[in-house]
């Protein structure tokens, strides 16, 4: 929310995920019976170092407001960030660092053992949005 970012394609093709979340910000799920060493670990989320960009070049700024996309031309870079304050910062996470858990007989323990991030609601066990991964795993029970 309210974060400006730039997309630079390093190759001819790129892929990623986009989700519009109107609920609480995404966070790590409560681990419950999993304990403290499962799923995604906070230390694996990487945040950038703030860098002031003082570029004078034409830039198109695209922003969403009231369900519509709006664009305006700027004569400078909007990425003139000196520092972040608080915890609303962009981050990235390598899905290869996700700690997939054990065997499942007929149902998954709550939270889902595949949940990377969740946007919880006021109703316990009901999420506004879950970001999940189904990585390869070693099925030790087979």
Lowest mean pLDDT among 40-49, 58-67, 69-78, 108-117: 108-117
Phi, psi of 34 (to 5 degrees): -65, -35
For residue 109, the model assigns a pLDDT of 64
**CATH number for the domain harbouring residue 27:** 2.60.120.10
* pLDDT > 90? residue 127: yes
**52: in domain:** no
**108: in domain:** yes
What mean pLDDT comes out for the span 110-135?
Answer: 88
CB atoms within 10 A of CB 66: 5
**137: in domain:** yes
Per DSSP, 4 falls in state: -
**54: in domain:** no
**Domain count for the chain:** 1
Active-site residue list: 108
**89: in domain:** yes
Is the pTM higher than 0.85? The answer reads no
Residue-wise pLDDT for 49-61, tens only, equals 777 888 899 999 9
**110: in domain:** yes
Question: Which domain range does residue 112 map to?
Answer: 13-39+85-142
Q: Which is more confidently placed, 3 or 108? A: 3
* pLDDT > 80? residue 33: no
Kindly tell me the burial class for residue 39, based on how many C-beta atoms sit within 10 Å of its own C-beta (0-12, 13-18, 19 or more).
buried
Cis, bond preceding 111 (omega within 30 deg of 0): yes
**53: in domain:** no
**3: in domain:** no
């Amino acid at each position: 929310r309210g974060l400006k970012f730039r997309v630079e394609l390093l190759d001819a093709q790129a892929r990623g995920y986009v989700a519009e979340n109107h609920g609480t910000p995404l966070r790590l799920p409560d681990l419950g019976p999993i304990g403290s060493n499962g799923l995604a670990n906070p230390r694996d989320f990487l945040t950038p170092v703030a860098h002031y960009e003082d570029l004078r070049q034409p830039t198109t700024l695209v922003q969403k407001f009231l369900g519509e996309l709006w664009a305006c031309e700027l004569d400078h870079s909007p990425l003139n960030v000196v520092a972040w304050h608080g915890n609303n910062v962009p981050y990235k996470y390598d899905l290869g660092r996700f700690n997939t858990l054990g065997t499942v007989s007929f149902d998954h323990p709550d939270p889902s053992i595949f949940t990377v991030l969740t946007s919880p609601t006021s109703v316990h066990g009901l999420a506004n949005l879950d970001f999940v991964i189904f990585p390869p795993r070693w099925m030790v029970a087979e």
